[in-house]
Amino acid sequence: MTAVSTSRPARSRAGVGIGLVLLAQLMLVLDTTVVNVALPPIKTDLGFSPAGLSWVLNGYTLAFGGLLLLGGRLGDVFGRLRVFQIGLTLFTVASFAGGLAPTADLLVAARIAQGVGAAIAAPSVLALLMTSTPDEGSRNRALALFTAVSSAGGSLGLILGGALTDLGSWRWTLFINVPIGIAVVALVRRYVDETDRRTGRFDVVGALAATLGAVAVVYAFINAPDHGWDSIGTIGGFVLAAVLLALFVRTERVVPHPLLRLGLLRSRRRAGALVVMSLLVGSQFPMFFLLVQYDQSVLGFGPLASGFAFLPLTLAIFAVSRISAPLVGRYGPQRLIAIGTLGMAASFLWLSQLSTSSDYATAILGPMLLSGASAGLAFMPTTVAILSGVEPEHAGAASGLLQTMQQLGGAVGLAVIVSVYASGAVPGEVVPGAEAAFLTSMAFALVAFTIATVVMRTPRRAEVPGSVPA
């Protein structure tokens, strides 16, 4: 009787802690898209040039994607809860500064600072979820919620951004983070335990090489649509990224306390799952960019209606994510990833048929539901495949690597597919170029399917479905 009475408060405490950590994760993911539908009024209010306006999105993505590995290592060395609070505090302060920004330059600076804070906090999210769950079943359920939040956060950001912009001002897309961030920072230590600190010297060279290399590759892809794939900035970015990546790998092989254990990449299954994750995010993010423009320019939706147009995608992701955990336990990750990637490919093929005479109910709703259900089926088992077998002391590094691939996948996918779209676009029109863009998204998803079925294939007796490190 005593055991039951003591375990119930412990489960309740763990549940609140998981909820707080997931709320922070949702806030960090929302900010990749929450300002999308607010870009026109931001441009008008602060006098952005067309090229400069893209940095409201890209500044956040660059900092977030480039610093995630460093954020994971900071959590391992200094304690994940402490680093999570520091990163979230910086994110919250930067959100407040961005909401007050009187000029374009200060808004971009605030968005970069938000990205830095997000990169410091985000890698600790998965690690804290792992240490807050008492058994494998609850751990898989927490992972399912994490993937639902991460997958649906983009479309929820569009809805929230549209509502705040229509009902108030674009500044509230940033101010909304402030009360949430303060509440999580103030309460999380009461409900979540600190993790053990990993002793050892800090790998400064590896941290700089990984961070600057990630920034260089994201910058190169972002630069390409505006300045060309053969421009000095694009080629120079790729060359610099290759040099820094080589330096990073060499450093990680020789230093006693590396930023990233290269052994994490020796598993063909894990390496394949990381590539699949980047391809899935890279294929889906451009859908937000393209359909927001289609909804507003062709269908005549306002910011709020345009945001709500993505609600079916969000609901489909949440609905399927709720059943993905037991399905992984029964069938293993690989089959679910294969089915999910095929479903996403089919949804993009469907969207490639959009025309100026299409309507929302017949041309967008169906593929959006299919894409959401398929994403809900694929993302959680991909996360399981990446984190399975990782030692607890390396959980922060693995989490940082996972989320780095998500952010870089989104940035690269958006840059590549928007470049394809721009090559066929007609000034003042939205539909020309959309077919090629959505077919490129389909190609991304088909490559992910191939990797899941070929590279990630393992003997049945070697699989431990749903296993995740304690």
What's the CATH number where 149 sits?
Answer: 1.20.1250.20
pLDDT at 80: 85
Same domain, 224 and 263: no
Residue 189's pLDDT band (boundaries 50, 70, 90)? confident
399's tokens: 């989490």
Overall domain count for the chain:
2
Q: Is residue 468 part of a domain?
A: no
Same domain, 216 and 121: no
Same domain, 13 and 136: yes
List the end-to-end C-alpha distance of the chain, in Å, as a whole number. 27
> What is the CA angle 455-29-345, rounded to 5?
40
Q: Nearest 5°: phi and psi at 307? A: -65, -45
Do 226 and 420 touch, CB atoms closer than 8 A? no
- Name which of 400, 404, 381 is nearest 464 in CA terms: 381
Same domain, 53 and 82: yes
| pLDDT of 88 above 90 | yes
Same domain, 97 and 122: yes
Q: CB 97: neighbour CB atoms within 10 A?
A: 17
Determine the Cα–Cα distance for residues 361 and 9; give it in Å rounded to an integer: 47
Q: Is residue 227 part of a domain?
A: yes
181's tokens: 């961030």
Percent of the chain, pLDDT > 70?
87
| Domain interval for residue 397 | 2-202+257-462
Q: What is the dihedral of CA 454, 456, 461, 464, to 10 degrees?
A: -150
Same domain, 381 and 290: yes
Same domain, 356 and 231: no
Residue 198's pLDDT band (boundaries 50, 70, 90)? low
pLDDT at 462: 45
Q: Is residue 446 part of a domain?
A: yes
Q: Name the strand (E) or helix (H) holding 356.
A: none
DSSP 301: -
- Name which of 349, 437, 341 is nearest 381 in CA terms: 341
Query: Final residue of a domain: which of 225, 241, 256?
Result: 256
| pLDDT of 299 above 80 | yes
Same domain, 15 and 150: yes
Range among 45-54, 70-79, 330-339, 397-406 rated most confident: 330-339
Three-state helix/strand/coil letters over 127-187: HHHHHHCCCHHHHHHHHHHHHHHHHHHHHHHHHHHHHHHHHCCCCHHHHCHHHHHHHHHHH
Do 27 and 181 touch, CB atoms closer than 8 A? yes
Same domain, 242 and 177: no
Do 347 and 371 touch, CB atoms closer than 8 A? yes
Q: Is residue 66 part of a domain?
A: yes
Residue 2's pLDDT band (boundaries 50, 70, 90)? very low
Q: Nearest 5°: phi and psi at 103? A: -135, 165
Q: Is residue 88 part of a domain?
A: yes
Do 277 and 455 touch, CB atoms closer than 8 A? no
Same domain, 38 and 110: yes
Burial (CB < 10 A; 0-12, 13-18, 19+), residue 19, is middle
The residue length of the chain stands at 470
Query: Final residue of a domain: which of 221, 236, 256?
Result: 256
pLDDT-wise least confident of 58-62, 150-154, 278-282, 419-423: 150-154
Q: Is residue 39 part of a domain?
A: yes
| pLDDT of 375 above 80 | yes
Same domain, 175 and 228: no
Same domain, 266 and 251: no
DSSP 392: G
- Note the helical H segments in 332-394: 333-351, 360-363, 365-387
| Integer angstrom CA distances of residue 188 from 7, 96, 141, 150, 308 | 20, 21, 20, 20, 31
Q: Nearest 5°: phi and psi at 394? A: -110, 10
Query: Final residue of a domain: which of 237, 256, 275?
Result: 256
Q: Is residue 467 part of a domain?
A: no
Q: Is residue 470 part of a domain?
A: no
| Integer angstrom CA distances of residue 51 from 39, 161, 437 | 12, 21, 20
